[in-house]
Amino acid sequence: MRGSRARAPRLARAHTGQLDLLALVVIWGVNFTVVKVVLQEVEPLAFNALRFPFAALTVWILLRAQGRRLMPRRRDWARVAWLSLFGHLGYQVFFIFGLALTLAGNASLMLATVPGWIAILSPALGHERFSWVVLGGVATAMAGMTLVILGGPAGMALGGETLRGDLFMLAAAVVWALYTVLGRRAVRRNGALEMTAWTLWLGTPALVLMGLPGLLRTDFGSLSVGAWAGIVYAGVLAIGIAYFIWYRGVRRLGSSRTAVYSNLVPVAAILTAWLWIGETPRALQLLGAGVILAGIAVVRLAPPTRAGDRARRRALRERRRAEKAARSRRTTS
């Protein structure tokens, strides 16, 4: 009985994390089209410079509302800086230029390799133990991703005109995998919301500076209401809230399980286009969606992978000490 009662909260947290990740799939599925539309009016780096302040403000509000720590400890600054470099500067530059230079289907397929990279990097770096079941589920989901893209009107279209964008998107996938794996220990110690906020705040000024020339060339008076709405959506939801959900999923479910949900994003994008602008999905795309769901089911039912022994226990001890110290300060104040 005691074991059953102890397992119940863990199961509830796992189900909540999975629902959060499904919401993330919808946010990013819609965002894919939103970004493509806004880039017709705004340059890529200028677009990043406009949406990231909205993202930074969003996580600041979330942090203040929950009474969380606003600044990292001195020992965490180096880790925050590295994660900001990977997750914001590196990933966002590769992503935005890749999306501008290639087809939407190609970009989705390149980003769908994220679970494969994480499944390789996470055990290699000692964050999770290797699991053939998880790897098989990832491979199944990626096969379904291929069917979804091949079933589209443009197919793969890996021609010369899109090759540079494809390579940018593949680089974005590798960088995002590193961001996910390297951030797991810091998230356990400090919390998902804190790490999301700190890396965002550190990366936003650099992204604004990078986009400054494009901002100076932008005629803001000619921007449509839809473009401004897309900028806010891409900042508040697709970065600010979505990054927080992503990191919390990593903490609750593990890197590989969290990453496999990214393969559902193209499915959400197809459904959105079907209901919104009347693009009917083809039979091969529907088959691919089913294969993706099967791959995610395999990953969900797999035995849990565990973080690297000493590093994981040390991170948990440090977090418990920090929570105990925080409670002591609140009691004495």
pLDDT of amino acid 307: 46
Q: Report how far Cα 136 is from the mean position of its chain's Cα atoms.
A: 21
Find the angle CA(257)-CA(260)-CA(265) to the nearest 5 degrees.
140
Q: Write out the two tokens for 49.
A: 């410079």
pLDDT digits (tens, 9 = 90+) for 105-118: 667 777 877 777 77
- What confidence tier does 148 reach under pLDDT thresholds 50, 70, 90? confident
Q: What is the mean pLDDT of the chain?
A: 78
pLDDT of amino acid 74: 81
- Percentage of the chain beyond pLDDT 90 is 19
pLDDT of amino acid 207: 93
- Whether residue 16 is predicted with pLDDT greater than 60 in this model: the reply is no
- What confidence tier does 225 reach under pLDDT thresholds 50, 70, 90? very high
Averaged pLDDT for residues 240-258: 77
How many whole angstroms separate alpha carbon 175 and alpha carbon 117?
Answer: 9
pLDDT of amino acid 316: 54
pLDDT of amino acid 311: 45
Torsion angles phi and psi, residue 105, rounded to 5? -65, -45
Check residues 240 and 145 and name the one with the higher pLDDT.
Answer: 240
- What confidence tier does 333 reach under pLDDT thresholds 50, 70, 90? low
- Percentage of the chain beyond pLDDT 70 is 76
Among the residue ranges 3-7, 246-250, 280-284, 323-327, the one predicted with the least confidence is 3-7
- Whether residue 9 is predicted with pLDDT greater than 60 in this model: the reply is no
Averaged pLDDT for residues 286-309: 69
